[in-house]
Amino acid sequence: MIDRYSRPAMKWVWSEKTKYDIWLKVELAVCEAWANQGAILQASMARIRKASYSMAEVEEAFAETKHDVTAFLRSVQKNVGPDSRFIHLGLTSSDILDNALNLQLLQATDILAEDLDLLTKVVTTRALEHKHTLIMARTHGVHAEPTTFGMKLLVWVEELKRSAERLQQARKQIAVGKVSGAVGSHATVPPKVEELACKRLGLAVAPASTQIIQRDRYAQFITTLALIGASLEKFATEIRALQRTEIHEVEEPFSEGQTGSSAMPHKRNPELSERVCGLARLLRGYSVTGLENVALWHERDISHSSAERIIIPDSCYALDYMLDLFTHIMQGLRVFAPRMQKNLEASKGLVFSQRILLALIEKGMTRQDAYKVVQKAAMATWESDGSFKDLLRKDKVITKHLPGKQLDDLFDYRYYTKYVDEVFTRAGL
């Protein structure tokens, strides 16, 4: 991932040093398990526990071996001496790589969970702030009926909560380890050693494994991140749409000295929200690769490995950045309530058409007859300079059922906010 989209904590998780530190941690955990079973003397373990590696030595060895685990073990062996023969005892590379990857993923997931929690709190605050701020709801991009901006954001809050649940479910799937040797047969590593090592690492044991931990677990993880990214894209797309000049009901933060265009000084573009949308596409692409990594030949091939070196860290980087960026957007989002009110009135009262329809039905008209008479007035409103209410007043069928004040009383925006508090309470806010 490029530095621009990499935050420090996530960079640390996926750094080479962190990776090798965890590799060593895994190797030592397995040695402790062997020692528990009497295969390694405590005197040897005392020296093994002091094991270290040199990044320079690993790089030098890799230039020759072209195998990262072999290169790493060569450096460790140099630093431990004769007792290093017990390190990697009975193991295959994936016993180290997959366990270490999962430990990194758990750290990354915890960062993402914190990001999600902060964003949820920020959106919740903005939802409560605008609980009763009227805004035009649109279907197909066309004026439908009024809602509140708070209700829009409440939908986002609930979606973010579901995202947090999905992330924890995905975390559970990758919080597993395997120490089962080549092809996963346990021929060289007893299940008891696997259990002890995984317990020391804080991982559950994958009940059955081949030479690798099965890739459906990682596919679930990456698709979960892509789904969270899709939700962020949905939210960001709404902001982009509402920031259009013709609507201009909200505006993402625009700092002093910032420029929106090299050619047009007046531009204030929703470029942060557009960035969120662009990165969501990246995550979707990675999720496809994650799914394609599930099917490997027999007990394992290595076709997944090269792809995972990119898609797993980058998915974590991207979502971490997106969550932080969208939190910034929501914290600084400008909300133009007067413009929302102006846009409400732009369709000349047509938004009350369903209220008129329901009132006529209550007065005894059939739904079909009521719909026809209301639709006739509504279509005429689109083509005229007059208001919907004025045209309704000219229709004798309507005024017969809804005379004078009865008709006027239906044109009241408060109708659309009467249950907002109840909905927020049901959502626990």
Q: What is the pTM of this model?
A: 0.93
Partners of 139 in beta bridges: 142
Count helices and strands in the chain by DSSP H and E runs = 18, 6
Nearest to 58 by CA among 76, 84, 42: 76
> What domains are defined for the chain?
17-86 (1.10.275.10), 92-341 (1.20.200.10), 350-410 (1.10.40.30)
Contacts of 125 (CB under 8 A, 6+ apart): none
Local confidence pLDDT in tens for the 429 residues of the chain:
788 999 999 999 999 999 999 999 999 999 999 999 999 999 999 999 999 999 999 999 999 999 999 999 999 999 899 999 999 999 999 999 999 999 999 999 999 999 999 999 999 999 999 999 999 999 999 999 999 999 999 999 999 999 999 999 999 999 999 999 999 999 999 999 999 999 999 999 999 999 999 999 999 999 999 999 999 999 999 999 999 999 999 999 877 767 665 566 776 889 999 999 999 999 999 999 999 999 999 999 898 999 999 999 999 999 999 999 999 999 999 999 999 999 999 999 999 999 999 999 999 999 999 999 999 999 999 888 889 999 999 999 999 999 989 999 999 999 999 999 999 999 999
Q: Which burial class, exposed, middle or buried, applies to 373 when counting CB atoms under 10 A from its CB (0-12, 13-18, 19+)?
A: buried
User: CA end-to-end span of the chain, whole Å?
Assistant: 38
Segment holding 169, helix H or strand E: helix 149-174
Nearest to 208 by CA among 228, 183, 231: 183
Q: Which two tokens stand for residue 27?
A: 């190797």
* Cα distance between residue 141 and residue 292, in whole Å: 36
Q: Which burial class, exposed, middle or buried, applies to 87 when counting CB atoms under 10 A from its CB (0-12, 13-18, 19+)?
A: buried
Sign of CA dihedral 174, 178, 181, 182: negative
Q: Specify the pLDDT at position 261.
A: 59
Segment holding 80, helix H or strand E: helix 68-80
Q: How many CB atoms lie within 10 A of CB 365?
A: 20
- Contact assessment for residue 61 and residue 70, using Cβ atoms and an 8 Å cutoff: yes
> Which amino acid makes up residue 121?
K
Q: Which two tokens stand for residue 402?
A: 């809804």
> Which amino acid makes up residue 13?
V
Q: Which residues are catalytic?
A: 140, 261
User: What b/e readout covers 157-176, taking b as 16+ CB neighbours within 10 angstroms?
Assistant: bebbbebbebbeebbebbbb
Distance of CA 205 to CAs 191, 193, 201, Å?
9, 11, 10
